[in-house]
Amino acid sequence: YWVHGGWIAAVILGVVCWFLLGVVFDISGATRELMEGVTSLIAVLVLVSVGFWLHRHAEIGRWTKFLKEKVKHAVDTKNLIGLASISFLAVFREALETVLFLRVIWFDADASAKTSMLSGIGLTLILIFGASWAAIRYSAKIPVTRLFQLSAYIMGVLSFILTGKGVHALQESGHISITPIMPYLRWEIMGIFPSIETLLAQVLILVVVVGLWMQGKKPSAA
């Protein structure tokens, strides 16, 4: 019960964060664009520094080992609050990442896009519950490492998109200059806009992500 209480609390807090960000975004003019830009770039930092590092193959073992050690200690000492805290930590980290980039995408979406997003979120929840059930019943047969690697690739793509959207929002708020380049070079769904500043920022984040990926491919010194 304590374990379930921990992850349920994390999900509830994630929902609260979603609505709090909505309140922050419920403003107009340049300040609204500034908040969108800042939140987008914060989401990029979370995705790259937390998500990518913890999901790459070398870190999965450490994260799993950390959780197992904490769970074992909590069980041995009958520290039920500690057990709930571990459950909360494991889930809230993912919830925070999800809320950050979904809220940024929601900010720019029209009514039709929001309907599609809600459908996608609903389908995702169904898949998550199905995957959770399968993980419990067939844990030995699930390629966990491959799933986390796929997650890392997706995070890299999202980082690229949100970097473009974040810099573009800061340009619209007047906090970053705009140097036009190739007007036809616009693909908003991928966060690509026809300005040197947005493209340079995206090239930089690609270099960072690829660099981290290459470092993660190196064999451990141990």
The predicted-structure confidence for 121-154, as pLDDT tens digits, reads as follows 788 778 777 776 776 676 555 566 666 667 777 7
pLDDT at position 222 is 44
User: In angstroms, rounded to a whole number, what is the distance separating the alpha carbons of residues 81 and 6?
Assistant: 9
CB 61, CB 70: distance < 8 Å: no
Q: Is residue 222 part of a domain?
A: no
Can you tell me the mean pLDDT for 200-213?
A: 86
The predicted-structure confidence for 160-190, as pLDDT tens digits, reads as follows 888 998 899 888 888 888 898 888 888 887 8
> Hey, which residues does 169 pair with through a beta bridge?
none
CB 143, CB 204: distance < 8 Å: no
- pTM of the prediction? 0.65
Q: How confident is the model at residue 74 (pLDDT cuts 50, 70, 90)?
A: low
User: In angstroms, rounded to a whole number, what is the distance separating the alpha carbons of residues 25 and 36?
Assistant: 7
User: In angstroms, rounded to a whole number, what is the distance separating the alpha carbons of residues 20 and 29?
Assistant: 19
pLDDT at position 201 is 93
User: In angstroms, rounded to a whole number, what is the distance separating the alpha carbons of residues 187 and 174?
Assistant: 21
> 177 lies in which domain range?
2-217
Q: How many domains does the chain have?
A: 1
Q: Is residue 106 part of a domain?
A: yes
Q: How confident is the model at residue 116 (pLDDT cuts 50, 70, 90)?
A: confident
User: In angstroms, rounded to a whole number, what is the distance separating the alpha carbons of residues 115 and 196?
Assistant: 33
Rounded (10°) CA dihedral 152, 157, 161, 166: 30
Round the CA-based radius of gyration of the chain to a whole number and report it.
Answer: 20
pLDDT at position 72 is 72
